[in-house]
Amino acid sequence: MITDLPFVNQKTQVFSTISTKLHVPVAPPSLVQRPRLMQQLNQSIQYKLVLVSAPAGFGKTTLLSDWSQRSEWPVAWVSLDAADNDPIHFWSYVITALDKLDADLEHILDLLRAAHTDITYHLTGLINALAAISDDFVLVLDDYHCIENNDIHTALTFLLDYLPPQMHLILAGRVAPPLPLARWRARSQLMELGSDDLRFSQEETQTLLRQTINVNLSAEEIAMFQQRTEGWVAGLHLAALTAGGSANITASFLNSFRGDHRYIVDYLATEVLQQQPEPIRNFLLSTAVLEYLQSDLCDAVTGRDDSRSVLAEIERRNLFIIPLCQQERTYRYHHLFADFLRSQLRQKQADQLPALHRQAAAWYQAGGDIGRAIQHTLAAGDFTEAADLVEQVVKQRLVLGEFNTLLGWFKALPEAVIHSRPKLCLFYAWTLTHAGRFDEATHYLDRLDQADGPEVKIFIGGKAAIQARMAVIQGDPDRIVECCKLALAHIPAELIALRSEISLDLAFAQEQLAANLEEVQEAFEEAIACNRSSHHPRAAMMASYYLGNLYLTHGQLQPAAQVYQQALQWAQRYSPPAVSLCWAHVGLGQLLYEWNRLDEAHEHLQQALQLAQQSGEVKVLIYSHRALAYLYQARDELTQAQTSLRQAEEIAQQTNIVSLIEDVAVDQMRLWLKEGQLDTAAGWVQQCGYSLDPEHPEARENAIVILLALAQGISQHVPLPQEIVPLLQQRCAHEQSIEHNWQLIQNMGLLAVAYSINGHTAKARETFQQTLALAQPAGFIRTLIDQGAAIATLLRQCVEDKAVGGYAGQLLAALGKETIVTITPLPTKLPDQSLVEPLRQRELEVLQLISTGRSNKEIADEMILAVSTVKWHLKNIYGKLQVNNRTQALARARELNLL
């Protein structure tokens, strides 16, 4: 075997091997195990070449060193650097590494040292020698991006073309090497691991942070961290280093973590930017002002005409560039890399920033993308031009519900510019109103009193319309009607969109004035029709939400579901989807939660929250957080529930809207009771000065005190205050008189619990049977079982009742298996356990529906699914039951006692 022999290159300069370049690097102490990637590398034995290519800091060397230490095959390793661009030098290291596998390659090395003939001549001997090795083995060439010598690339290609089947090569580097990869890819001889494969998952990120700085973050905080670093492992390490300790890893830190932090700057400057040729560096800095990179746009900003080829070269070099659309060749920079480039641009070429932004703005404006033109015009400091552009698109953005976008633009404009334009004052006030910032909105409304000219009537009407919407959010129906009348008297008929908004406000007034169901339903349906015809998606979706909520309040869950589904279907005409879809998603999420379909509810509520955050509309943001808090409680994920409620409370407190704050307070009370924190709840109630008020039975304070008293009565076996039962009776009578069946079911359930605590067992059972009879037709579930253990006792008592016993059993099933076992005898015939894989709950539901003869479309409508999803469930059912059609599936299901 070769030892550390001196080698002679073509210039006769003597050098010796550096033995550590041939050692597999030692894994770092903070190594995170990555079984998914280990499994992929274990499949490398099927390929001639494995290419691991990603930017600096993506963990290529760490991954391969860990795998090499664990590999069942012998591994030869070479760590390359710039000095290895000499072919003799390069191949000497390769041969020495392979010789460590007892390949007996000394004679090849002797021939190589002479180096008077074509290198491929010596490679022929090397290939023949390697072919004599009987077992599989692997050669790893790390940092292959350091090799720029074409002779080496040519020789390596020759080696790979004639590689013995038992030899496998792994190349790791920052760029894709100039080798015939397409040819090997087409022959299935190449396996590739890139940036997307190497990015840390949320689970891996959490493990890394726990190992490096001993910190556990919530799922939301991990997701936030993931978004900023995009799974870049060096970025994760540097973020932890920047934080300086686990106590500093807070949501505020994660939000503020950028590519201009010192450690990030040092790393990217030395490891990435300084390694690039000057033309590439200049291109990176000049295009750093862009959110998205397209060749024509980059040409316009940089003054070049070859940006397409430059972008291709940057992609080849893996310079933290992420392709977004291959057909249009659109890219973006990694978030932290973009932050870093912009900080470098501000430091080194600040005088060029306005011109770069103006060129970008002109390109976007010429292409009709006014939104991005506004962003760059503002960044250039051209505020008058920016205000002109905002006035062009503000109406469109308002009807789509893009309040956050508008707030960003308005905030960037100088106050004097806004004050000089009544139209902008009006639209800014409208935007602030929906963000719940009434005091600021009023400031801009007051500026309208100074307006003059032909548009004065419009400004008067617009101001009244905004004041009507404030009254809607505050729950003041008389004020709504007063403002709407004034608005309609001044707003011309041709301003259809604004008048359509007023139709929505009048529907709210009808509801809050306790009109009958038919009148309010008609008012909301009219508002939906008006806003759809005027192409006003935000108001149409908002009206749809409240119509669905109206049905829900009256205990009509199926009509509510139809309203939400129709709203989603109607909104599909908008591309990209309007952020105001959040209203339909939150409504459907709340409904699916009520039906205890928690996974589907979570999906819709997450979409609602994501869109609501983009929109910035305060009420739907709070609704989304509150609904998610309920869902997390149902899953016993109490930390997440507390986080969602805290976010809802922060938003509500910022608006200073009493009704929203009180709604969140009731939810907080429920969560404390769920957690068993009765003392905390009682202390808070006392601190707030809440007490029972028989004069106003519907007050939220009563609801809070009643919940606390019932919880104390159950857990601490203390008698209920004497006012509780009469108050609940009053609340029930009130809800029954206005046919608010949802609240009636809630209060009747609480009344039954109160009777039970007071020892009135017969009355409790009778009241609860009436509650079930009212709840059963619409299929209410969570409204009842969310009241917890006390309900379980009442349900058990009702199981034998012929009218509601089956429904009571279903609710017990929803409470959990342990409850069912205590009250339900085991079936005489146990289900057959010979299935390949058990059917899931959704699959059982589909199976039950096909047994009734429903078509795929009918099943989709009933389960609120796409037809394609139903087909997918059927495919899974057939596979698990090992059948080919519906008839066979039903027969097999009956054999297994599944129906």
pLDDT digits (tens, 9 = 90+) for 705-722: 999 999 888 887 778 889
Higher pLDDT, 11 or 375: 375
Higher pLDDT, 578 or 345: 345
Mean pLDDT computed over every residue of the chain: 84
Question: CA-CA distance, 317 to 154, in Å (whole number)?
Answer: 19
589 confidence band (pLDDT: 50, 70, 90): very high
pLDDT for position 222: 76
pLDDT for position 13: 39
Return the minimum-mean-pLDDT range out of 150-154, 238-242, 618-622: 238-242
Percentages (nearest 5) of helix, strand, coil residues in the chain: 70, 5, 25
* pLDDT(824) > 60: no
879 confidence band (pLDDT: 50, 70, 90): confident
Helix count and strand count (H, E) for the chain: 48, 9
pLDDT for position 821: 27
Contact by Cβ (8 Å): 350, 328:
no
Give 15's strand partners.
7
Cβ neighbourhood burial of 159 (10 Å; 0-12, 13-18, 19+): buried
Higher pLDDT, 407 or 673: 407
Per-residue pLDDT tens for 62-99? 899 999 988 888 999 999 988 888 888 888 889 888 88
pLDDT for position 251: 57
Q: Which segments of 786-855 does DSSP mark as H helices, in order?
A: 789-798, 805-815, 817-823, 841-850
pLDDT for position 328: 62
Backbone angles phi, psi at 217, to 5 degrees: -105, 160
Give 322's strand partners.
332
The mean pLDDT value for 249-254 works out to 60
DSSP 3-state assignment of 516? coil
Return the minimum-mean-pLDDT range out of 18-27, 507-516, 527-536, 784-793: 507-516
pLDDT for position 12: 35
* pLDDT(425) > 90: yes
- In the 8-state DSSP scheme, what is residue 62? H
Contact by Cβ (8 Å): 628, 613:
no
* pLDDT(122) > 90: no
- % residues pLDDT > 90 (the chain): 39
pLDDT for position 848: 82
252 confidence band (pLDDT: 50, 70, 90): low
Question: CA-CA distance, 758 to 719, in Å (whole number)?
Answer: 7
Give 212's strand partners.
none
* pLDDT(2) > 50: no
Per-residue pLDDT tens for 739-749? 899 999 999 99
Higher pLDDT, 415 or 797: 415
Return the minimum-mean-pLDDT range out of 59-63, 109-113, 351-355, 586-590: 109-113
- % residues pLDDT > 70 (the chain): 89
String of b and e for 569-580 (b: at least 16 CB within 10 Å)?
ebbeeeeeebbb
Task: Answer positive or negative: Cα dihedral of 638, 643, 648, 653.
Answer: positive
Say how far residue 776 (Cα) sits from the centre of its chain: 35
Strand 167-173: give its sheet, edge to edge: 75-79, 137-142, 167-173, 49-53, 190-193
The mean pLDDT value for 745-771 works out to 92
How many C-beta neighbours within 10 Å does residue 296 have?
12
Contact by Cβ (8 Å): 756, 792:
no
The mean pLDDT value for 136-150 works out to 92
Most confident of 177-191, 202-216, 651-665: 177-191
Per-residue pLDDT tens for 341-371? 999 999 989 999 999 999 999 999 999 999 9
Q: Apex CA 203: angle with CA 200 and CA 209, to 5°?
A: 80
* pLDDT(393) > 90: yes
The mean pLDDT value for 694-710 works out to 87
630 confidence band (pLDDT: 50, 70, 90): very high
Most confident of 642-651, 812-821, 863-872: 642-651
Question: CA-CA distance, 361 to 297, in Å (whole number)?
Answer: 10
* pLDDT(15) > 70: no
Question: CA-CA distance, 78 to 95, in Å (whole number)?
Answer: 10
Most confident of 3-7, 303-307, 334-338, 698-702: 303-307
Cβ neighbourhood burial of 802 (10 Å; 0-12, 13-18, 19+): exposed
103 confidence band (pLDDT: 50, 70, 90): low
**Following CA atoms 641, 643, 648, 650 in sequence, which dihedral angle do they give, to the nearest 10 degrees?**
150
pLDDT for position 699: 83
The pair of three-digit structure tokens given for residue 676, joined into one six-digit string: 């068993």
pLDDT for position 318: 80
- What's the one-letter identity of residue 52? V
String of b and e for 486-502 (b: at least 16 CB within 10 Å)?
bbbebbeeebbbbbbbb
Return the minimum-mean-pLDDT range out of 14-23, 92-101, 222-231, 271-280: 14-23
Question: CA-CA distance, 572 to 480, in Å (whole number)?
Answer: 31
pLDDT for position 578: 78
Per-residue pLDDT tens for 504-534? 898 888 887 766 778 888 888 888 888 888 8
Contact by Cβ (8 Å): 334, 320:
yes
Return the minimum-mean-pLDDT range out of 777-781, 825-829, 851-855: 825-829
pLDDT for position 118: 63
Most confident of 90-99, 372-381, 476-485: 372-381
* pLDDT(215) > 70: no
DSSP 3-state assignment of 137? strand
The mean pLDDT value for 874-891 works out to 80
